[in-house]
Amino acid sequence: MSPSNFDLFSDQAMAESVPSSAAALPQLRAQNLRDLLHHHAHAYYTLDAPELPDAEYDRLFRELQALEDLHPELLTPDSPTQRTGGAVLAAFQQVTHRVPMLSIRTETDNEASGAEAFDTRIRKELGLVPTEPPVVYVAELKFDGLAMSLRYEAGLLVQAATRGDGETGEEVTANIRTIQQIPLRLPADAPAVLEVRGEVYMRRDDFEALNERQRQRIASGTKGEKTFVNPRNAAAGAVRQLDSGIAAERPLSFFAYGLGDMTPSNEGGPTWTTHYAMLMQLKAWGFPVAQQTSRVHGASGLVAFHQRIAVERDALPYDIDGVVYKVDDLALQTRLGFVTREPRWAVAHKYPAQEEMTTVLAIDVQVGRTGKLTPVAKLKPVFVGGVTVTNATLHNELEARRKDVRVGDTVIVRRAGDVIPEVVSVVLERRPPDAQQFTMPAHCPVCASLAEREEGDADHRCTGGLFCSAQRKQAIWHFAHRRAMDVDGLGDKLVDQLVDAGHVKTLADLYHLKLETLSGMDRMADKSAVNLLEALEKSKTTTLGRFLFSLGIRHVGEATAKELARHFGQLDAVMAASEDALLQVADVGPVVAHSIRSFFDQVHHREVVQALRDAGVSWAEGEALAPTEMPLAGITVVLTGTLQSMSRDEAKEKLEALGAKVAGSVSKKTHYVVAGAEAGSKLDKAQALGVPLLGDEGLLLLLAGQKP
């Protein structure tokens, strides 16, 4: 049907589509409603371009249903009301295909060379010499579904049959009628008899929604329900449903890719001479044809298509297992003919499967650099998505429980693109009777410290911190950070090497490193080793705030560490503080207080602290000062531009140590803006608001406790 056939359905025509005289003629109205509903179902399901709100479609549908109830003689087999299913069969009838449903040869080579091999074969069969032009092919998608033959007589869908053994299939018309994309009636220019061949499949989103509904049914105790392992399996189940009412609840889709039997109508035979033109004709008659279908030239065209679809594959809303190449020219197809039951002019070129079944050998718990515990399913090795997969993350305990993966289970593993492999679902029917539900261990499998999950957090974490070897590198890297102990020259790579070589097992080991050890590390010049030792020595003299921050206590950031130092004045006081005492510190809430308390409750953390003190790490311990007693208490300062006397970080630290608040933006509440060279918008804002401006000198006065 060309777009102009749809003029009848334009908004204007729709509004006028029921002349008052027609309302009095149920037959005309029924025909009119069928046309409207066919048109809008095609726009919605096949063209993906709805023209009518769902509610309006439903209203028209109900009107037709009411009319047919009132006048059963008006019911026609192509009525959209006949898609909903309902018929229950005792068994499927056998159907002999008038034109056998062929199978397609699969190219064994999954690489691009598979496409080249097909082109070479075709050229050889056709006796083409290299100087002759490239063969024109049609490249199509190979949907992961079920082959189906749709028979139309006098324009009406009369039969839908599965492939079966290619000669005889099963009649599944009632179920296939429920597929909205399949026309129940063809336009007048279609042949008198037409068999359209294609693939019935289920979209991934429809599959997920169906499985969710199935899970709910199972949970609510409905007997005989199960979830489906993949969209193909769900589609096959729906097609082979004896109760078409159940089939109607399992949304299927369809793509056309070829023809079977055909008797031209009186007006003459087919007008096409190529496969591509035939597909375009099917499209015009209302059948869905994959939009990716392309006419390409020669081996290079096939290879390019194979590569393009490999990239686009994961973004498609349905599964494909490969692509199909066909010689475009129908006369050449006839010349090429068949080998046994496979056309010589077509080949399927597959991609590696993205889902496979395997078994769970164990569920291990891995500890990440930040202490996060991750359950990982250890799988019987399985080749999926082009690689051998032996592990699949289960993310956390909640996720492992949601999927209910158990040791001994048979599971479906998916690996699409470069995404890490995951367990998609469990095949419950194959679960061993004694399989135990997974629970997270109470202790870290690496260091045996307590594993905790905070409220609102999905992840369990090891509380071993500095002591846990799985977290060692992260802990050392954090310790050396510029804002922590500020060990210049101790970067990630060097930390990795020192830990891997066993030179640093705990933080204090850093202060016992020897020049020879450091010089022996990769890309470590003698000079750099000397510099690092100097930096380590310098870092020993620090502040309590920096030291507390460097310990990497969970939830204790730089600002909280400074507050703790200011509040308690001495490390021993922090280490001894109860959660209640900790709650008195500005910005410390119950989660932070609990985290600090449990950190220092662990013997090995206290040992690390002692070892660092023994190695010479020290700071000026003072009496705890109430924040209000500090010289710059209540003063808010903003720093901008490049200062001459010190870096902005240094200025911030010194100001904060005296009780000032260093803010990031200027407001009316700002007491001073310290502006260095190339100060920008903050300076402008300060001037606009009349906030006092200070330079380096003013800053030094402020730090000396004098009013600038």
Contact residues toward ligand I6G (CB under 6 A) are: 102, 104, 140, 142, 147, 199, 257-258, 324, 343, 346
- Does residue 124 have an active-site annotation? no
The CA-based dihedral angle spanning residues 514, 515, 516, 520, taken in that order and rounded to the nearest 10 degrees: 110
Tell me the C-alpha to C-alpha distance, in Å, between residue 692 and each of 543, 689, 701.
30, 9, 14
Question: Strand, coil or helix: what is 326?
Answer: strand
Tell me the C-alpha to C-alpha distance, in Å, between residue 333 and each of 60, 117, 122, 705.
46, 18, 10, 94
Min CB(137)–ligand I6G separation in Å: 12
Tell me the C-alpha to C-alpha distance, in Å, between residue 239 and each of 202, 211, 218, 482.
11, 16, 22, 65
Closer residue to ligand I6G in complex, CB, 199/355: 199
Phi first, then psi, for residue 575 (nearest 5°) are -65, -25
> Angle at CA 333, nearest 5°, toward 331 and 335?
75
Tell me the C-alpha to C-alpha distance, in Å, between residue 421 and each of 118, 212, 378.
32, 21, 12
> What amino acid is encoded at 315 in this protein?
A
Residue among 321, 320, 319 nearest 207 (CA)? 319
Find the helix or strand (DSSP H, E) in which 255 lies: strand 253-263
Min CB(249)–ligand I6G separation in Å: 26
Given a contact cutoff of 8 angstroms between Cβ atoms, the answer to whether 34 and 63 are in contact is no
Could you give the CA distance from residue 440 to residue 374 in angstroms, rounded to a whole number? 9
List alpha helices for 569-634, DSSP H. Answer: 571-576, 579-582, 590-601, 603-614
Question: Strand, coil or helix: what is 39?
Answer: helix
Min CB(84)–ligand I6G separation in Å: 29
Longest C-alpha distance within the chain, in Å? 106
Min CB(325)–ligand I6G separation in Å: 9
In the block, tokens 């294609």 appear at 198
What interhelical angle do 696-703 and 648-657 show, nearest 10?
A: 30
Q: How buried is 353 (Cβ within 10 angstroms: 0-12 exposed, 13-18 middle, 19+ buried)?
A: middle
Closer residue to ligand I6G in complex, CB, 142/478: 142
Residue among 189, 152, 154, 343 nearest 269 (CA)? 189
With left for phi above 0 and alpha for psi between -120 and 50, is residue 199 left, alpha or beta? beta
Closer residue to ligand I6G in complex, CB, 142/414: 142
Per the residue annotation, which of 142, 350, 403, 562 is the catalytic one?
A: 142
Min CB(140)–ligand I6G separation in Å: 4
Query: How are beta strands 355-367 and 372-384 bridged, if at all?
Result: antiparallel
Q: How far is CA 492 from the centre of its chain?
A: 30
Beta partners for residue 317, in sequence order: none
Given a contact cutoff of 8 angstroms between Cβ atoms, the answer to whether 701 and 692 are in contact is no
In the block, tokens 């279908």 appear at 293
Return the structure tokens found at 596. 């600090």
Strands (E), 67-135: 94-96, 106-107
How many beta carbons lie within 10 A of that of residue 700, not counting itself?
16
Min CB(465)–ligand I6G separation in Å: 57
Burial 208-226 (b: 16+ CB within 10 A, else e): eebbeebeeeeeeeeeeee
Which residues are tagged catalytic? 142
